[in-house]
């Protein structure tokens, strides 16, 4: 095999394995193991961490979110380094970004549950822990403030998704050597993708019918 062909095969294997790892339907498995039921039949019907919190409580919710974060991190940090043939693995897009993105897509469109998974927030966070921890920290701070103020997980997630590329662009403007343009484009794409997976939440937010976690609204006085 030629070096270029080996490189293509290696990257293809990384993307496939990353997609399959991201596709592991954590919330479905946890709910089945603990209750024998399908999480998709309850709450919002979404196979993600937020619905797990709502339906099964905080312990199961934290477990699901932690595993989903780990999926994104493990794929980006370890699977992306897979090298079947030796030599440098070259790609016009950094391989960790390709691997992490494949994992997020797998989480949202899992092959193990008829391509209906979660919204991708936790798995994206795991990917970004490995890639861009400082911008992620700022996004998590924004998520936390909005959640404690509004009680809406969806609004908090959308806010964090928007803050991430803004932070990346700000860092690039202040220090162009700290990031490349691929990272900026990636940050915009991931924000757009998260917004897309939350399109039904956006409609409910606009109509005032979105579910809210009242207990976490510690920054808002209740009448």
- Per-residue confidence in pLDDT tens, the chain, 223 aa: 567 889 999 999 999 999 999 999 999 999 999 999 999 999 999 999 999 999 999 999 999 999 999 999 999 999 999 998 888 888 888 999 999 999 999 999 999 999 999 999 999 999 999 999 999 999 999 999 999 999 999 999 999 999 999 999 999 999 999 899 999 999 999 999 999 999 999 999 999 999 999 888 887 655 4
Dist. CA 212–CA 206, nearest whole Å: 13
Q: Which of 69, 33, 34 is nearest to 48 (CA)?
A: 69
| 154 class by beta-carbon count within 10 Å (0-12 exposed, 13-18 middle, 19+ buried) | buried
* Assigned token pair, 64: 């699901």
64 Cα distance to chain centroid: 13
Backbone angles phi, psi at 217, to 5 degrees: -85, 65
User: Is pTM beyond 0.85 here?
Assistant: yes
pLDDT at residue 221, as a whole number? 56
DSSP state letter for 109: T
Write the DSSP symbol of residue 80: G
């Amino acid at each position: 095999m030629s070096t270029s062909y080996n490189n293509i095969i290696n990257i293809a294997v990384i993307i496939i394995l990353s997609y399959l790892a991201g596709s592991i339907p954590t919330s479905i498995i946890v709910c089945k193991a603990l209750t024998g039921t399908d999480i998709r039949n309850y709450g919002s019907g979404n196979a993600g961490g937020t619905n797990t919190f709502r339906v099964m409580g905080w312990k199961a919710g934290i477990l699901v979110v932690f595993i989903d974060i780990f999926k994104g991190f493990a794929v980006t940090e370890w699977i992306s380094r897979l090298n079947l043939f030796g030599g440098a693995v070259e790609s016009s897009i950094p391989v960790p970004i390709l691997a992490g993105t494949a994992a997020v897509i797998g989480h949202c469109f899992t092959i193990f549950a008829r391509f209906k998974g979660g919204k991708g927030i936790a798995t994206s966070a795991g990917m970004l822990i490995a890639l861009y921890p400082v911008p992620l920290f700022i996004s998590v701070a924004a998520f936390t403030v909005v959640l404690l103020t509004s009680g809406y997980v969806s609004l908090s997630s959308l806010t964090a998704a928007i803050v991430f590329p803004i932070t990346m662009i700000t860092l690039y403007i202040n220090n162009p050597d700290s990031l490349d343009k691929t990272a900026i484009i990636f940050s915009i794409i991931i924000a757009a993708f998260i917004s897309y997976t939350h399109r039904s939440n956006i409609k409910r937010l606009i109509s005032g019918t979105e579910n809210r976690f009242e207990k976490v609204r510690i920054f808002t006085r209740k009448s």
